Chain A
Amino acid sequence: MGALFAADTLQGPKVAWFSLSPMLVLLAGALVLLLAASLTPAWPKRGYALFTAAVALAAGVMEVLLWYRIDHEGPATLVGDAIHLDKVGVWIGITLCVAVLMTALVTDEYLRREGLDGPELYVLYMLAALGGMVMSSANDLIVLFLGLEILSLALYVMAASHRKRIESQESGIKYFVLGGFSSAFFLYGVALVYGGSGSTNFTKIVAGFDANIDPSNEALVLAGIALLLVGLSFKVAAVPFHFWTPDVYQGAPTPVTAFMASAGKAAAFGAMLRVLLQALPQWRDDYRPAVWFIAVVTLVGGSVMAVVQTNVKRMLAFSSISHAGFILVGVEAAAHVGGPSLDDNTGVSSVLLYLLVYAVLVMGTFGVITAVGRTGDADTGLSGFRGLGKQKPALALGMTVLLLAQAGVPLTSGFVAKFAVIGAAVEVHSYAIALIAMVSAVIAAYLYLRIMISMWIAEPEAGDDAREPVRVPLLLGIAIGLSVAFTLVIGFFPGRLIDITP
């Protein structure tokens, strides 16, 4: 029985427009920009970026209003039980809005530098964020899949959007082929879970656990869970489904890489929490060992492989894999206590905190790489950073703060996030995974040290002076500044943020 339609008469579901407002704002923003930009001559400098930033800000404000509404009226489901309105969804929505806003700032000068200025990329950012919101607040596997595809299709195009660089197109096609493959896994998983449990709706799957599932069908559900896990692991770039990550991150335009690492990850982990904890909590003892294993190989694999890279974008690709491992530690902890409700679960809180912190962090880091990469993203090797401490001390200092935060040094937001995740794991007595996570963080720290050595310590070499100078345009500078400020403020005074994390 479909969720949207009653049996005899065709009757539209009741739509709570206000509760959907962030998504509608993003959708409207994307359509307006697409239409208006195609009907008018090229907008003045920074026009597209500022428009996008304004839309993201508006969507963010709507999310905040929804947050207060949930405070008063409690969580709800919308559109015929297809969409959740709860703090987890709103939190990830805010993370996505922040990501769009900052990516827009980073993208602006980048496009002009590359001679690619135009509205397309901005439209895609907004649509991708919309997809991310749908996916992370879905209450139905089909709806979740729709969101996932909106996000993914936008990301494929974004990755390939640098028309003048062959690497960008290569990265787009790689991502598309592998991503399509993983979507197929996910969809087959949806089908099997439906076959085993009789519904795609989370509420009904959970409610029907006792009634609908007979032992012969349980195998279907378990196989379905395995396939869902494969699909989601691909999206969050967990080992061993990570092979696309370094190539795509390296080839894609740097601002797009930033968007993938922040928004893409946030949405995918939101979906993972929904699927594992809200749709399938009764099987948590079955899939938790799988999550444990994926988390461990992701942590260790990501860190170890990061160390041997020489291209900074590749390094950060592997480091993002290692961060995904950390977040998975939080997911594993959440799966110890998770019921259909995501409230009062330290694991869930730690995941959400990590996602927000990491989104801002990685945005600033890739912002710096955008500047240092110079025209054509040509100089993203370690050597491109050589002497940055002398030429642009402020930029180098900002990067140092961001890298230390990624390494998890205290008094930065990165440490707070790691602390929360490890705390959640220890609270449910997952000591082994907590230790593995911390040790692999040390391995990963070596990679951040290498970048810092390049910036501050490495001797200049012949030809360094002939390089294009590093320029930090206004909007990019603002984005990096915001990111560094957030990193430090949360590092010193995380109390308030921890308090409000759902």
Chain B
Amino acid sequence: MIEFPILTLLVLVPAVGSLLVAVISKRQPDLVKVTALLTSVLTGGMALWVLFAFKSENADFQFVSQHDWIEPWGISWHLGVDGISLFLVVLTGVLFPLVIAGVDPHHDHKRYLSWMLLLEAGVMGSFISLDLFLFFVFFEIVLVPMYFLIGGWGYDNRVYAATKFFLFTMIGSAFMLVGIIATAVLAKAGEGGAVTFDLVKIAETASFAESTGRWLFFAFAVAFAVKVPLFPLHTWLPDAHTQAPTGGSVILAGVLLKMGTYGLLRFGVYLFPEAAVWARPLFLTLAVIGILWGAVAATMQTDLKRLVAYSSVAHLGFIVLGTFALTTTALVGSVFQNVAHGLSTGALFLMVGMISDRRHTREISKLKGLQKVAPVFAAAFTVIMLASIGVPGLNGFVGEFMILIGSFPTARWWVAVAATGVIFAALYLLWAYQRVFHGEPDDDNNDFAELKWKEGALLLPFIALIVFSGVFPKPMLSRIEPSVDKLLEHVQDHSDWEQPSPAEPVVPAEGEHESEEGEG
């Protein structure tokens, strides 16, 4: 039976849209915009359709589509979605139309939109590919549109930032490519069959010698650690974020970084469970350093956008902490936090972009008293900021709380240190808020425009989703958990890892009371 190839379309529709936008005449700017918007809305609609058609209790890959692509090398067009990737797909589908509709690149709309759609195709593809080669193709192709977006539409120092972004990520990918080939070749040697790059096949059947597996794991992990970014490899991120145009920053923080954390789970832990367990202390430590480092660095920033960028480093540290804690609760929290961070930080970048558009500066010292002249704007900023801090009732709390509580049994001391990061987050964000929004506005800030209807309409979905998933996270958690459980079982089967206590279900069965964590 041939199923409707919904996942293939998720990649192809934006790719085709990108081509269309590229060939439409420059003299028809409206047609260009409408085409781009329609394409991204259509993609978003399909992503939502996937969300609703997704069978929540099923832990396996769904909507699988598999076709031969490069036969002599055993490479196939293999796509699928499970609970771990589902919400990243949805997030991608939702973020892009919002950014395309709501953020004005100021010049060269046609090229900008074309790159945006190509970016969407690449990001979508990374989240749903189940073939190592195919994943690499998408993972790498994303660099090109992002490079041009930062370089073409960014701020003053954009060329430097774009180049740094490209080269950093490519260095990581260089290791991963060798790792991917080695994995396929060695898996074949172990099995005696034909070469295959199929993720599921390799993960389920191939077995690597202990040291081999560890080397391979590191080849992959370097690429993802750059992308996340983990502590010593994070220096490209503040530059890229600060110089990128608003739309680029939103996408970068919202979904691009998630390719790293997602990759660690899917291609690190799933493919090399033994090595992942072995490397836990290293990654936990780097994650915790990242949390503290990002927080301290954020506190010291004078540029509002750079501050948000460093806060990303800290937040992503939590996600990696949860990933390598390897308990159900922590992992579910990590996956959830991926989405939560995408929404809250994405929205923060939007609002920083609005400030920057109005005042043509992002220096904290030059902004003052905005709350007086733009109360609604300040209110929206407050909600989003509180979500980023992790205040109960908003989605940031759910993720971070689950990560901390879930990691405690297996990574006690790391959690003890990481928990201080939550306080730091309150410190740097509230302090920044105080400096920017409180006080009496001076002459420069006196005519700061209030939130416009269009901007409000853009922020509304973000705030709605932040509040909704903060108050009622259960629909998300219940879709994530089966896949996470399955992944952990896989890890336990293929290594000496044991989850400490008999894991209690994160989500109570139907009919029981509401999960406590939601309300905090």
Contact = CB atoms under 8 A, between A and B. Distances in A.
A494 B69 CA distance: 9
A449 B178 contact: no
Interface in B160-193: 163, 166-167, 170-171, 174-175, 177-178, 181-182, 185
B136 interface: yes
Given A453-B151, A456-B151, A441 B185 contact: no
B159 interface: yes
Interface string A382-413: 00000000000000000000001000011100
B441 to A, nearest CB: 35
Interface in B364-405: none
Interface in A210-242: none
Contacts of B177: 419, 422, 438
A422 B178 contact: yes
B148 A456 contact: yes
B102 interface: no
A434 B70 contact: no
A453 B144 CA distance: 12
B137 interface: yes
Sorting the interface of chain A by its residue count into under 10, 10 to 19, 20 to 34 or 35 or more gives 20 to 34
A304 B171 CA distance: 15
Interface string A96-134: 000000000000000000000000000000000000000
A442 B185 contact: no
Contacts of B166: 445, 449
Contact of B167 (A409, A415, A442, A456): A442
Contacts of B69: 495
Contacts of A426: 178, 181-182, 185
B414 to A, nearest CB: 31
Contacts of B137: 410-411, 415
B170 A495 contact: no
B200 interface: no
Nearest to A418: B177
A494 to B, nearest CB: 6
Interface in B101-151: 136-138, 140-141, 143-144, 147-148, 151
B73 A442 contact: no
A427 interface: yes
Contacts of A465: none
A409 B148 CA distance: 14
A499 interface: yes
Interface-central residue, B70, B144, B166, by most chain A CB under 10 Å: B70
A439 B70 contact: no
Contacts of A423: 73, 181, 185
A202 B143 CA distance: 48
A494 B152 contact: no
A120 B339 CA distance: 66
A297 interface: no
B178 A438 contact: yes
A449 to B, nearest CB: 6
B72 interface: yes
A411 B136 CA distance: 11
A411 B69 CA distance: 12
Contacts of A499: 71-72
Contacts of A422: 177-178, 181
A495 B181 contact: no
A439 to B, nearest CB: 5
A430 B182 CA distance: 10
A435 B141 contact: no
A419 B134 CA distance: 13
A411 B181 contact: no
B214 to A, nearest CB: 14
Contacts of A419: 177, 181
A445 B185 contact: no
Contacts of A495: 68-73
Nearest to A434: B178
Greatest chain B CB density within 10 A among A410, A441, A456, A493 is at A410
A495 B76 CA distance: 11
A376 to B, nearest CB: 30
Given A449-B147, A457-B159, A409 B141 contact: yes
A441 B72 contact: no
A349 to B, nearest CB: 10
Contacts of A411: 137, 141
A32 to B, nearest CB: 41
Interface core residue of A415, A456, A457, A495 (most chain B CB under 10 Å): A457
B14 to A, nearest CB: 15
Contacts of A457: 151-152, 158-159
A446 interface: yes
Given A439-B174, A449-B163, A410 B181 contact: no
A431 interface: yes
B171 A498 contact: no
Contacts of A446: 163, 167
Contacts of B147: 449
B73 A498 contact: yes
Nearest to B182: A426
B70 A494 contact: yes
A428 to B, nearest CB: 10
Interface in A433-462: 434-435, 438-439, 441-442, 445-446, 449, 453, 456-457
A435 B178 contact: yes
Contact of B159 (A404, A427, A453): A453
Contact of A404 (B72, B138, B144, B163): B144
Contact of B185 (A427, A435, A494): A427
A426 B177 CA distance: 11
B452 to A, nearest CB: 30
Contact of B136 (A410, A427, A435): A410
10 contacts: A404-B144, A410-B137, A410-B138, A435-B175, A438-B177, A446-B167, A453-B151, A453-B159, A495-B73, A498-B72
Given A411-B141, A423-B185, A435-B175, 15 more contacts: A409-B141, A422-B177, A422-B178, A426-B182, A434-B181, A435-B174, A435-B178, A438-B175, A439-B171, A445-B167, A449-B147, A449-B163, A457-B158, A495-B72, A499-B72
Closest 4 CB pairs of A and B: A438-B174, A410-B137, A498-B72, A495-B70
